Structure 1
């Protein structure tokens, strides 16, 4: 029987940022982000997983948890990045997770990443085919 697996996982991290020119968000402030991602595929790896979600969580937490996002080149316009809006954070996290998927022999596909900044606001970056 042919089928497709879908894995949706979320985790949390805390980070500070500022968005120049964005009203009160131009001041340094922080969020307890909820990050959710969706991976799909037709084959599992040797551990019978699409991807070990602990690997994903650790890759992002290790770099960004409890840090000032603007300090990273990907979130610094003066170093070729973009201000860390929720949308750009979702895009950067997508690129990180997508690279982890590309390194796997079963080649799972990352469909989307959501970053929830507050109870009222989240952004999604998704693959379009």
Structure 2
């Protein structure tokens, strides 16, 4: 009988950023971001996992944890990136996790990524495949 696996994982990283044009958020400030992602698939890897969520956590931590996001090209408009709003952070992290999924032999599907900036605010990014009409 066919089935589908779903993995939801969250972890925290600490980053600083500034959001020009956003009032007091124009000043450099930091967040303990709660990152949550959802991966689905019908095949497990040789370790009987969709993806080793430690690999995802370590990849994002290694690059972004305790850094100033505006200094990365993906978050610098002068280098072709976007201002690091919570929405754009969720999108950038989505594509980073997506690439990790695509590099796996079992090719799990990343459904969405949420970035919680404060207790009151979070953003979710999910890709909509226009060819599938979803």
TM-score normalised over the length of structure 1: 0.99
Q: Is 1:8 matched with 2:36?
A: no
Find the counterpart in structure 2 of residue 28 from structure 1: 28
Aligned partner of residue 94 in structure 1, secondary structure? helix
Aligned pairs (5 A) from 1:47-86: 47-86=47-86
Q: How many residues align?
A: 129
Alpha-carbon distance in 1 for matches of 2:89, 2:73: 12
Aligned partner of residue 40 in structure 2, secondary structure? strand
Shift of 1:73: 0.4
Aligned partner of residue 48 in structure 1, secondary structure? coil
Aligned partner of residue 21 in structure 2, secondary structure? coil
Q: What is the aligned-residue RMSD (CA, Å)?
A: 0.5
Q: Is 1:18 matched with 2:24?
A: no
Alpha-carbon distance in 2 for matches of 1:110, 1:82: 22
Structure 1 residues not aligned, in runs of 5+: none
Aligned partner of residue 56 in structure 2, secondary structure? helix
Structure 2 residues not aligned, in runs of 5+: 130-134
Moved over 4 A (4+): none
